[in-house]
Structure 1
Amino acid sequence: MNANLNTEQLASLRQAAHWFSQLNSGEVQASDYSAWQLWLNAAPVNAWAWQQAERLQTRMAASESPASARVLTLAAHGRHASRRRVVKAGLVLLGGGALGMGGYREIKQSPLLADVRTGVGEQRSLVLNNGTALMLNTASALDVDDRRDAPWLRLRQGELMVTVPARQTCRVITGNGTIDAGESRFAVRLLDGSSSLEVFGQQAQVTLASGQTLQVNSGQRCQFNDQGFSSLETNALAADAWGRGLLIANDQRLDQFISNLSRYRPGWLRCAPSVAALRISGTYRLNDTDQILRALATSLPVQVQRRTRFWVTITAA
């Protein structure tokens, strides 16, 4: 077995594999969704294991890495094996140590081990000893070292807003690089294989392990990974609205809006292809996603189909 995983994590990975297979079997009933949600909410380790299932599904769709190939090879004897069977097999291997999928690194950075965590739909504010203000976004995890003049933070999962006061400094570390800033306001988000930085006031500097550096100024954003940086771009309109508890859309495609909203709502929230291209504008409070769904049904020709509270699809009215 994988020595980097404890008994509880191994058990939850296997349970997540079971639930992923069951919920995508085409034979699921309402009672199954309710039972899955109870399991998901029962312990933080279950939420972590479910996240591994979702990440693995995404990587199976996008990655051509040797690790992915090893999982897909499991389906070789069954040419039409479904995605759910491949993901389930991958999770079992991850728990058993045969797959790895970045094994040690991912477990070492597991949000379960973080100093501060937020659940889905939860946001949390903190103030460091030097006056630096933090806002941890939904489903995020953070380590904090506040014992020095220049505090540092390690973002393990999710998204973080940082406001550094005058004459102070702060450092944020991700798996892709290090961000250093004096007086400034900026947001850092972990993506699949990369990190993003958006600066809303003053500037911040990113340094990669290779020594490459990039200064990002107010109103700019970039993505970076171990190899380098993307081109600097202008921040999206109201990109920092989540720091005020808001979700703002300005003539945005509905499927993009639903994708953003799903980050703040537990369970499954999807948009049917038939309404994906509808456009939406408005300002919504993130602390009441049910109200946002009701507003959609009154402002657009759509209906909200609920199998359970945790399984919602937006379809044509």
Structure 2
Amino acid sequence: MRQVSPQDPDDPVEQAIAWAVRLQLHGPLPATLQALRQWRDADARHETAWQRIAAMQGQLSGLPPDASRATLDASLARRRQRRQSLKLVAAFGVTGTGAWLVLDSRADYRTGTGQRLAVTLPDGSLLNLNAGTAVNVRYDGARRLLTLLRGEIAVTTGIDPLRRPFRVDTDTARMQALGTRFTVRRLEDGAVPLTRLTVQQDAVQMQATAASAEPVLARAGDALLTDGMRIWRDQDRHDDPAAWLDGVIVAREMPLGRLVAELARHRHGLLQCDADIAQLPISGVFQLGDPERALRVLLQTQAIVAVYRTRFWVTLKKA
């Protein structure tokens, strides 16, 4: 399939995006902010490109006010600064990536774009974090508690001599492991945030956060969803929820839009597809460590093209 070539790296828009990604990866370091200011002042086209990037469409993603004031032109009104910088962050798909702009800096463990992490907890339990994840860990004399703030985790519980319950909480669910191996993911790309629980071994008890909710027992092979009010079985099983532990996405008739969203968690910049091809069913195994190769496979096997606005900003379109 035809692939549209990226723009010239000297293009001001591409340079502006590179600056935004640099801030995303390394945070608002004084030297970086000073160098960005010098670049913007060096050429009127640079300032125009930066303002263009700042005005990109996107959904709010929680940029800290201090960061927004530091990275946008001080001559703009503070409210406008914050609005534009929020759009900038969302335009690069930062939401869910673990970058400095969106993840709670107080999290005990966190990962960024394309990062995965394995942690051995004090009781010998194994905690794995997928890309764009933040989690807090609280162990005391009465409990073992993980709070998933963002993203996705896999847990293999250890044997606790104190027999403390092992729980995982999100904003919509409370889960208690019953000697088990399971994954939990926060799904926040829809109108209502959801928690998805999948059990690979033994059982987990899930309870929605609503006071009247009854707990539901999930056994090996089960997948449950909750919006905080009710719990239901996940019938939309287009992937292997634990495949990321092996560094792959296993897609089974997965809508292209969902596959692209998964790849975007492991690729810096903005990766998206047009709505008219978002439901195209895709099957295959894709390496998380090489999203560019996954894109090449899609371009070679599907009637689609990749349009590069810059090397960081790619949109898949119908051929």
TM-score, normalisation: structure 2: 0.65
Structure 1 residue 115, shift from structure 2 partner: 0.7
Aligned to 2:231: 230
Q: Name the CA shift for 1:125/1:177 in 2 (closer, same or farther; >3 Å).
A: same
Which of residues 150, 170, 174 is equivalent to 2:170? 174
8 Å Cα contact 1:220-1:235 kept in structure 2: no
Structure 1 residue 39, shift from structure 2 partner: 2.3
Q: Name the CA shift for 1:234/1:220 in 2 (closer, same or farther; >3 Å).
A: farther
Aligned AA (2:16)? D
Which of residues 278, 285, 290 is equivalent to 2:292? 290
Which of residues 254, 272, 279 is equivalent to 1:270? 272
Aligned to 2:254: 252
Q: Name the CA shift for 1:294/1:55 in 2 (closer, same or farther; >3 Å).
A: same
Question: Gapped runs of 5+ residues in structure 2?
Answer: 1-11, 30-53, 62-79, 88-101
Corresponding position: 1:132 with 2:125: yes
Q: CA RMSD in A?
A: 3.3
Which of residues 212, 216, 219 is equivalent to 1:214? 216
Secondary structure of the residue aligned to 2:146 is: strand
Structure 1 residue 211, shift from structure 2 partner: 5.8
Q: Distance in 2 between matches of 1:89 and 1:291?
A: 33
Which of residues 136, 143, 156 is equivalent to 1:143? 136
Aligned AA (1:292)? A
8 Å Cα contact 1:197-1:221 kept in structure 2: yes
Q: Distance in 1 between matches of 2:202 and 2:248?
A: 23
Structure 1 residue 235, shift from structure 2 partner: 7.3
Q: Distance in 1 between matches of 2:183 and 2:240?
A: 12
Bigger helix share: 1
Secondary structure of the residue aligned to 1:195 is: strand
8 Å Cα contact 2:109-2:135 kept in structure 1: yes
Aligned to 2:195: 195
Which of residues 16, 30, 33 is equivalent to 2:14? 30
Secondary structure of the residue aligned to 1:210 is: coil
Aligned to 1:88: 83
Q: Deviations over 1:31-66 (max 9, x none)?
A: 322222222223189xxxx9xx95538xxxxxxxxx
Count of aligned pairs between the two proteins:
241
Aligned to 1:41: 25
Q: Deviations over 1:118-176 (max 9, x none)?
A: 00111101111222111101111011124557521111111111112467752112122
Corresponding position: 1:161 with 2:154: yes
Q: Name the CA shift for 1:170/1:44 in 2 (closer, same or farther; >3 Å).
A: farther
Structure 1 residue 279, shift from structure 2 partner: 3.0
Aligned to 1:56: 60
8 Å Cα contact 1:303-1:314 kept in structure 2: yes
Aligned to 2:180: 184
Q: Distance in 1 between matches of 2:103 and 2:240?
A: 30
Which of residues 282, 285, 289 is equivalent to 1:280? 282
Aligned AA (2:274)? A
8 Å Cα contact 1:176-1:195 kept in structure 2: yes
Structure 1 residue 284, shift from structure 2 partner: 1.2
Secondary structure of the residue aligned to 1:33 is: helix
8 Å Cα contact 1:201-1:217 kept in structure 2: yes
Q: Name the CA shift for 1:303/1:235 in 2 (closer, same or farther; >3 Å).
A: closer
Q: Distance in 2 between matches of 1:216 and 1:44?
A: 44
Aligned to 2:67: none
Q: Name the CA shift for 1:222/1:202 in 2 (closer, same or farther; >3 Å).
A: same
Aligned AA (1:210)? A
Corresponding position: 1:123 with 2:116: yes
8 Å Cα contact 2:225-2:234 kept in structure 1: no
Secondary structure of the residue aligned to 1:250 is: strand
8 Å Cα contact 1:253-1:278 kept in structure 2: yes
